[in-house]
Amino acid sequence: MGPRAAHGRVRRAPPALFTAATPSDMTLRVRFAPSPTGFLHVGGARTALFNWLEARREGGTFILRVEDTDQARSSPEMTRAILDGMRWLGLDWDEGPYFQSEGIDRHRSQALELLEKGLAYRDFVSPEALAAIREEDPDRALRHPRRQAEALGEEESRARAEAGEPFAIRFRVPDGVVEWNDRVHGETRFDTREIEDLVILRADSTPTYNMAVVSDDGAMRVTLVMRGDDHISNTPKQILLHRALGQPVPEFAHLPMILGPDGKRLSKRHGATSVESYEGEGILPEAMVNFLALLGWSAGDDEQIFTREELVRAFSLDRVLKKSAVFDQTKLEWLNGRHLTARSPESLRPELLARFGPEREVAEARLDQDPEGARLLITLLRDRARTLNDLATQSRIYLLDTFEYDEKATGKHWFRDPEMALGHLQALHNGLAEVDWTEEALEARVRAIADARGVGAGKVIHPLRVALTGQMASPGIFEVLVILGRERALQRLDGAMERIRKGKQTIPES
């Protein structure tokens, strides 16, 4: 079975002149090849993830190659940030990181090899002169360097080079059609008459992107090149270069573009899109992985929640969509909430404490003091939170002794009728001073107090919640009482009553 049949696509005639195909018995080797000119952003992370998933599913090799040839724009800090981002996402690589700059001698010598074989030529036309022609007549510019080289002749060309005149080396694009069976887009063809003779070695002797990538993909025996579809126009050039160098041509898969909510290509304009910034927002790595997987891929049913292991099993390039994916922050937070719920309170504890800042020790001591209560607290907040940052913010109310009162909450549940609120809180203070401190006993007692005061339970629970948490909403009030413990609950009731007494003259009726 040929590779096309293996991917469920129909073999189609007529065959193109320059095709890409990989023997299907070859072990999969994929690579992620970021340029360290910025942080690991959503698009790059998605490419890395899909390569990683394909490698893990197929038992193949995932190679990390840092394309640092643009020395002016690359930096070791960015390389570190990209590697950190991948580690955070759990995308472990099997080989590398290789650095493209280390292969520069090989890139150069392969460019010279093409020159020697007559598959490339010296171009003495200055970039300025070519730009001027392009401005005037783009069609003429396309083959201008080739015509100039032919007019010059090999002998003259060599003589000028030897005399020290600067020249670039251009690959002579052969006439014909380049076709490949893209693993996402299916049969894809380019007429080579539209492709310029690309520079492979610049006048300063540095290799170009296409030369370096083809040389590296060959040297690293890459069998499948999976990358963003902004690279699709490079692919025919790269296939031709592989052929010219006598290398096996890898397969290609071009992943759909990622758009921002406004339908434009996702970029910095849409806010922070680096993986690092999501870590800072309190997104879990497993949620980020889940979210990235759904950018351009679907399992085919409505299933949205996947663990890393489930993704490895479910992922398939056949289900990568051709159309662009839209980045949806609300969905990311929703997925994060779901993954938070799947986490044990023990595993969330360090994440929570890491977000406490200077009050970390106080919070830690409180968690240690009552391990059972700590577990209950983290569980309750976890199920309501969307991010780790939410979780940490909410837990401050319970773990620290100072907390803010939400004015809306105090306005509504205390100051509409301060006398009534004071009466309820005083009765609660009296009633809770002696009662078994369990959820059941507390609930029975609070309901009895409400009965005795001739109101529904809600009427006493609302001011109580504001007294205990400062908030309009919280986990169940009896659980909140259990978490705080008797002493702190009574203190908070005292504090609330004092506030009401002080504030009732100054807060206008609303």
Residues annotated as catalytic are 268
Q: Which part of the chain contacts ligand GLU (CB under 6 A), choosing from 30-38, 56-64, 128-136, 428-436? A: 30-38
Query: In this chain, which stretch among 33-41, 176-184, 185-193, 274-282 interacts with ligand GLU, using CB under 6 A?
Result: 33-41
Map tokens 């990181």 to a residue: 97
Q: Which structure tokens are listed for 458? A: 């809600």
Contact characters 41-70, ligand GLU, x per CB under 6 A: --------------------------x---
List the one residue from 172, 183, 227, 492 that touches ligand GLU (CB under 6 A): 227
Contacts (CB under 6 A) with ligand GLU, residues 451-490: none
**3-state secondary structure (DSSP) of residue 288:** helix
β-bridge pairing 258-259 and 325-326: parallel
> Number of residues in contact with ligand GLU, rule: CB under 6 A?
7
Q: Cα–Cα distance between 46 and 230 in angstroms, integer?
A: 14
* DSSP label at residue 198: -
Half-sphere exposure of 138 (CA within 13 A, CB side): 4
- What residues contact 356, with CB distance under 8 A and at least 6 apart? 363, 364, 392, 396, 399
Closest to ligand GLU by CB, 254 or 499: 254
Closest separation in Å from C-beta 82 to ligand GLU: 10
Q: Is 165 helix (H, G, I), strand (E, B) or coil?
A: coil
Q: Kindly tell me which of 231 and 488 has the beta carbon lying closer to ligand GLU.
A: 231
Q: Given the complex with ligand GLU, which of 67 and 196 has the nearer CB atom?
A: 67
- Smallest distance, ligand GLU to C-beta of residue 45, A: 12
Among 42, 45, 178, 213, binds ligand GLU (CB under 6 A): 213
Type of residue at 355: R
Name the nearest CA neighbour of 232 among 20, 481, 467: 20
Question: Using CB under 6 A, which of the segments 29-37, 262-270, 277-285, 490-498 binds ligand GLU?
Answer: 29-37
Specify the 3-state DSSP secondary structure of 370. coil
CB of 229 to ligand GLU, least distance (A): 11
Residue 116 CB neighbour total at 10 angstroms: 9
Is 202 or 396 the residue whose CB approaches ligand GLU more closely? 202
Site membership for ligand GLU, residue 33 (CB under 6 A): yes
Task: Give φ, ψ of 466 to 5 degrees.
Answer: -65, -40
Q: How far apart are CA 266 and CA 43, in angstroms?
A: 8
Site for ligand GLU (CB under 6 A): which residue of 3, 34, 85, 418? Answer: 34
* 158/175 Cα distance (integer angstroms): 25
Residue 178 and residue 239 in contact, taking contact as beta carbons nearer than 8 Å:
yes
- As measured in angstroms, the least distance from the Cβ of 57 to ligand GLU is 20
Give the span between the Cα atoms of 57 and 60, in whole angstroms: 8
Q: Which is nearer to ligand GLU, 69 or 469 (CB)?
A: 69
Select from 20-28, 32-40, 49-57, 105-113 the region that touches ligand GLU (CB under 6 A). Answer: 32-40
Binding residues for ligand GLU (CB under 6 A): 33-35, 67, 213, 227, 231
